[in-house]
């Protein structure tokens, strides 16, 4: 679901950077086939079902956060994950109960 990544710490800091493999070519959603949209939707629903078991949600599930490699979709925005039912979740009131219907 998520493109393999590596976490590298900065020297003398507790911060770091996440490095993911590069996907080439980067195909924009306007260039996707209908099949690619179906694969992307299934990816988001599967990912949301999985992370909801850890009290997380995908806060920003849109096509620009998905890239394809060899006809396989990957969620590339690791910052899109957020805790459910908290003020951190920017759309908490808008989607209240929506994802629960899929569990």
- The DSSP code for 31 is G
Q: What is the pLDDT of residue 34?
A: 95
Q: What is the pLDDT of residue 41?
A: 93
- The average pLDDT across 35-54 equals 90
Q: What is the pLDDT of residue 31?
A: 92
- At 59-71, the pLDDT tens digits run 778 898 898 988 8
Task: Residue 62: count other Cβ atoms within 10 Å of its Cβ.
Answer: 12
Q: Give the three-state DSSP class for 87.
A: coil
Q: What is the pTM of this model?
A: 0.67
The contacts of residue 85 (CB under 8 Å, 6+ apart) are: 55, 92
d(CA 52, CA 42) in angstroms, rounded, equals 15
- At 15-35, the pLDDT tens digits run 666 777 777 777 889 999 999
């Amino acid at each position: 679901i998520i493109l393999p990544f590596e976490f590298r710490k900065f020297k003398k800091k507790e911060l770091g950077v996440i490095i993911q493999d590069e996907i080439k070519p980067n195909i924009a959603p306007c260039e996707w086939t209908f099949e690619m949209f179906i694969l992307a939707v299934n990816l988001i629903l599967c990912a949301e079902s999985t992370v909801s078991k850890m009290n997380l949600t995908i806060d920003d599930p849109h096509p620009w956060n998905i890239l394809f490699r060899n006809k396989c979709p990957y969620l590339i925005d690791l910052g899109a994950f957020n805790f459910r039912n908290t003020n951190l979740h920017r759309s908490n009131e808008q989607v209240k109960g929506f994802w629960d219907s899929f569990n």
